[in-house]
């Protein structure tokens, strides 16, 4: 049986430790007139995520730092933040993958009303989500299982992955302008039901999105596709809804 050898100090794959500066955009509506940037130095390991750095700040340095947290594993959709100018999930972004020689900028997502520190009011986002009727509407009564082929299921597989984190919608320059646009996330969730063979109300959703503030405001800047932490091809899904409206059917 092989015996363990003395490991050299710079073992490949070893967990590195480093100090990194986080610059967080703070805002307390009860005190501050304007948001401001505050820096924190934190000791991190190469296995740590931006969320761990925020935890370290909140638990060890400044307990007033406010951010949403739920599952911490990329599913609940609470952690969308603008990290170094790009929308990412703090719970999925490893600090070692960012440039740690420079400070890491963390701020709330844009285009939604800022409530405190990294927390925004998600209600406008969910309002347009609700408006596209994101639930299965089958006209037949549920007397038996609704069979679907593998191909029919694959048609909308990509858009089932959405976790409603708002990273896409809050990266969209059209949504930034006046917030009236439905936004990528609502269209993605409409796509998920429009192309579902078990659903019978595709036409209703297509009519809702064939609107002044609907899919036609999309300028295909691809910010949403780049921002999506789930890798959904958001701009492609929007384009598919556009062509479904032009065809008049899914």
| Cα(114)–Cα(24) distance, integer angstroms | 14
Between 102 and 146, whose beta carbon lies closer to other proteins? 146
Among 57, 91, 163, 174, binds other proteins (CB under 8 A): 174
| Cα(197)–Cα(188) distance, integer angstroms | 16
CA distance from start to end of the chain: 63
Q: Which stretch binds other proteins (CB under 8 A): 2-10, 63-71, 184-192, 203-211?
A: 203-211
- What minimum distance in Å lies between the beta carbon of 144 and other proteins? 11
Q: How many other C-beta atoms are found inside a 10 Å radius of the C-beta of residue 178?
A: 9
CA 12 to centroid of chain Cα atoms? 33
Phi, psi dihedrals of residue 42, rounded to the nearest 5°: -130, 145
Does residue number 144 form part of the binding site for other proteins (CB under 8 A)?
no
Exposed (0-12), middle (13-18) or buried (19+): which is 57, by Cβ within 10 Å?
A: buried
Does residue number 97 form part of the binding site for other proteins (CB under 8 A)?
no
Among 46, 84, 137, 197, binds other proteins (CB under 8 A): 137
Does residue number 211 form part of the binding site for other proteins (CB under 8 A)?
yes
Does residue number 203 form part of the binding site for other proteins (CB under 8 A)?
no
Does residue number 160 form part of the binding site for other proteins (CB under 8 A)?
no
Q: Which stretch binds other proteins (CB under 8 A): 32-40, 41-49, 57-65, 132-140?
A: 132-140
Among 77, 214, 229, 250, binds other proteins (CB under 8 A): 214
- What minimum distance in Å lies between the beta carbon of 245 and other proteins? 7
- Using CB under 8 A, which residues numbered 179 to 198 contact other proteins? none
Closest CA to 215 of 238, 191, 243, 186: 238
Bridge partners of 94? 49
Phi, psi dihedrals of residue 105, rounded to the nearest 5°: -90, 125
Between 42 and 187, whose beta carbon lies closer to other proteins? 187
Residue 85 contacts by C-beta under 8 Å, 6 or more apart in sequence? 105
Among 17, 207, 220, 222, binds other proteins (CB under 8 A): 207
Count of residues in contact with other proteins, rule CB under 8 A: 22
Bridge partners of 24? 38, 106
| Cα(85)–Cα(105) distance, integer angstroms | 7
Binding site for other proteins (CB under 8 A): 131, 133, 135, 137, 141-142, 174, 177-178, 201, 204, 207-208, 210-212, 214, 216-217, 242, 245-246
């Amino acid at each position: 049986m092989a015996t363990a050898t003395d490991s050299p100090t710079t073992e490949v794959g070893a967990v590195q430790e480093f100090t990194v500066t986080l610059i967080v955009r703070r805002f307390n509506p009860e005190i501050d007139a304007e948001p401001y940037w505050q820096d924190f130095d934190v000791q991190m390991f190469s296995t740590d995520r931006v969320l761990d750095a925020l935890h370290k700040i909140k638990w060890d340095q400044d307990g007033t730092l406010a951010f949403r947290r739920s599952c911490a594993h990329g599913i609940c959709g609470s952690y969308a933040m603008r990290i170094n100018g790009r929308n990412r999930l703090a719970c999925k972004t490893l600090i070692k993958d960012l440039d740690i020689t420079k400070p890491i900028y963390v701020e709330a997502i844009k285009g939604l009303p800022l409530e405190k520190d990294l927390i925004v009011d998600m209600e406008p986002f969910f309002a347009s989500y609700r408006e596209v009727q994101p639930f299965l509407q089958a006209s037949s009564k549920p007397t038996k299982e609704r069979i679907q082929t593998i191909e029919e299921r694959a048609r909308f597989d990509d858009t089932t992955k959405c976790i409603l984190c708002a990273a896409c919608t809050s990266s969209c320059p059209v949504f930034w302008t006046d917030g009236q646009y439905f936004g990528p996330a609502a269209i993605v969730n409409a796509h998920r039901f429009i192309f579902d063979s078990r659903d019978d109300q595709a036409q209703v959703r297509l009519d809702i999105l064939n609107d002044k503030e609907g899919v036609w405001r999309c300028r295909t800047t691809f910010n949403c596709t780049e921002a999506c932490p789930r890798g959904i091809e958001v701009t492609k899904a929007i384009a598919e809804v556009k062509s479904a409206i032009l065809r008049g059917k899914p």
